Amino acid sequence: MCIIAKSEWFDFCPGTFMGCFITFAADGNWSVLAISLVIGAFLGLSCEYGGNWLYQAVTEKKRM
């Protein structure tokens, strides 16, 4: 994982670690693996956009 993290596509080390962890935890069950990765991607995106929205909502009210 540390060697592949030098690649531009895999430079997010926590994401690489979680993908590896999910792969071993699924014990070869690819349907569970695919569902887990998709849910994780949606959760990550919702946290990113939700955090940005919350930050903008809080900082705009302080300026007024």
**pLDDT of the residue at 49:** 93
Q: What is the pTM of this model?
A: 0.58
Cβ partners under 8 Å of residue 16, min gap 6: 1, 4, 5, 10
Mean pLDDT by 10 residues, the chain (64 residues): 70 72 83 85 88 88 59
